[in-house]
Amino acid sequence: MDEWDLTADVLVVGGGPAATWAALAAARSGVDVVLADKGYCGTSGATASAGTGVWYVAPDPAAREAAIADREARGGYLADRRWSARVLDETYRRINEFAEISRYPFPVGPDGRQLRNGLQGPEYMRRMRILIRRAGVRILDHSPVTGLLVGNDGAVAGAVGHRRREGRDFRVRAGAVVLATGGCAFLSKALGCDVNTGDGTLFAVEAGAELSGMEFSNAYGIAPEGTSVTKTAFYGFATFYTQEGAVLAGASGQSRSPIAAELLRGRVFCTLDRADEAARAAMRLAQPNFFLPFDRLGIDPFTERFPVTLIAEGTVRGTGGIRVVSDDCATTVPGLFAAGDAATRELICGGFTGGGSHNAAWAIASGNWAGSGAARHVRSVHGADQGPARREVHVAGDAGVRPAGRGGLDHRDVVAAVQGQVLPYDKNYLRTGDVLEASVAELDRVWEAVRGALGGQGIDAVRSRQAAAMTAHARWMYRAALARTETRGMAKRLDHPGEDPRQHHRLTVGGLDRIWVRPEPVAFPEAVAS
C-alpha cells in the first residue's frame, strides 16, 4: 500500500478535541490508527482558535446534582441523567490525566490548587497533537474526506478524500471509522468554524445513520460588529442598547431574541458595564482572545459602547447531530462511531446549547468512548483473513460528486442559496411555520439541483461536498423545526410560544431525497417527576 491507498484498523475523521481523544483512545487499545483532518490537526476548528470552559465538576454528589440539574429545565427535560453522569466522570478523569501527562499550565487558585475548568484552545490542541503522535497515530493533514467506504454487508470500511497540498485523492481502508468532523456553521465566518460544514453528518446519513436534535440548530453567537469572535459568556455582564441609546428591554447574553429583532430594525450597541474590577481581570486572564478585537479597535468594552451583531453557529453550538445508540457512541451503521459536535449532544444538554463547557466535556468523553469502541469493534469483527484490505467496498453517497445530469452547477451558488435561508434572523432564529415552510420548499429545490448538476473532482469535489452537506443540514433542521410545534429549549417558534407537554420527546431525523422525522419518547427524570 502506498501513501494514497492506506490501510488502518481505525480511521478517525476530524482534527479537533473529539478526534484527537478518539485517536488517542484507539491507539492505546493497541490498534493501528489513521487520523485525517481537513486542516492541520491541532490548529483548525472552533476549539483551536479560542479558549473554552470545561464541564469539570469534582465527584461531590451535591455538586454533580447541581451541575446536571442546571441544564435540565433549560433543555426542556430532554437530557439523560445517566449520560450526564458518565460525561462528568469521564471528563474529570481525562482532564486530570491530561494535566499529568501533558504538563498543561492550568492556572492556580488562591488555595494553590490548579483550576482545571477551562482550557486555552491553541495550547490544548498543540499538546493533543503531540500526544497522538507519540501514541503512533498517523496524521494526514490538509486531507478532507469526501465520502465513506462501505462493504457489501453495509458496514463502514474506511473513507476516500483529497490531499490538498499534493493535489491527489487518497483512500483509507479501515475496520471502523470515527466521525469527529464537528457541526455545521454554514460558512458564517464564526471564528474557527470555516472547516465546520457538516461533511461528516452527510457521510453518516448516506451510509444509513440517523440524526437527533436537529431542530436545536439555531445557535447565534454575539460578536462585535465586523469581527468573528463569538465567545458569548462575558455578555452576561452586558447592557444592550438600541441605536437611539435606549436600553434594549429583555436583551442579555442568554436572551438574544430581542437583539435579533432589533437588528432587523437597526443597530444594537453594548457595554460590559456590569463587571467589577476583579471580574474584568479574571475575564482577560480566562479568554484573552475575546479582547483582541477591542484592543485592535481601541475600544474599552467595559466603559465604551460598541456595536454588536449575531453570527450563526448552527450545530457547532447547537445540539443536533448524529444519533448514537450505545455507550461507546456507535451509530446505527455497523463500524461507524460519532463523537464531539458531529454527534447529538441532546443526551447531556437536551434542547439547550452545549456551547462552551458542555461541548468541551462531550468532546473529551465521547471521543474516548468512540475511539475505544471502534478498536473493540475491529478486534471483534475482523480476523486475520478478513481485515480491511480484503473487503470489497464502494463509496457511499454521490451528492455533489457524481451529478445525475450533465453538471455545471457552481458550488458557490449553492452555498449562497443555502445561506440565504439559514443565516437571516427572521428565518432561522425568529422562526414561524409559514417562513419555515417557504424555506423548506426553496431548500428542496436547491437539493434537487445539487443532485442533478453539482459535481467535481479533486479540490472541486471537496467544495461541492461541503455545499451538499450544508444543503442537507438546512433541510434536516428545518424539517425537524416544523415537526416541533412548540417552544422548547433553543427551538423557539413565535407561532407556538409555549411548551407543549405532549411534545416531550426527541425527534429522530433521517433520509436524503425524502426526509423523515420520528418522535422518540423521553422519560422525565425521577427527581423532577416526583
Indicate the domain borders of the chain.
Answer: 5-216+315-387, 219-314, 411-503
Residue with cell 469527529: 180
The pTM (predicted TM-score) of the whole model is 0.95
CATH code of the region 5-216+315-387: 3.50.50.60
Q: Write out the DSSP string of 324-387.
A: P-STT-B-SSTTEEE-GGGB--HHHHTTS--TTHHHHHHHHHHHHHHHHHHHHHHHHH--TTS-
pLDDT at residue 385, as a whole number: 44
pLDDT at residue 1, as a whole number: 43
The verdict on domain 219-314 having CATH code 3.90.700.10 is yes
Q: Is 75 helix (H, G, I), strand (E, B) or coil?
A: coil
Q: Which residues contact 210 (CB under 8 A, 6 or more apart)?
A: 322, 323, 331, 332, 508, 509, 510
Q: Which residues contact 381 (CB under 8 A, 6 or more apart)?
A: 155, 175, 334, 335
pLDDT in tens, the chain (530 residues): 456 899 999 999 999 999 999 999 999 999 999 999 999 999 999 999 888 899 999 999 999 999 999 889 999 999 999 999 999 999 999 999 999 999 999 999 889 999 999 999 999 999 999 999 999 999 999 999 999 999 999 999 999 999 999 999 999 999 999 999 999 999 999 999 999 999 999 999 999 999 999 999 999 999 999 999 988 889 999 999 999 999 999 999 888 999 999 999 999 999 999 999 999 998 888 888 899 999 999 999 999 999 999 999 999 999 999 999 999 999 999 999 999 999 999 999 999 988 889 999 999 999 999 999 999 999 998 654 456 667 789 999 999 998 988 789 999 999 999 999 999 999 999 999 999 999 999 999 999 999 999 999 999 999 999 999 999 999 999 999 999 999 999 999 999 999 999 999 999 999 999 999 999 999 877 655 55
Spatial separation of the C-alpha atoms in residues 38 and 159, rounded to whole Å: 13
The verdict on domain 411-503 having CATH code 3.40.50.970 is no
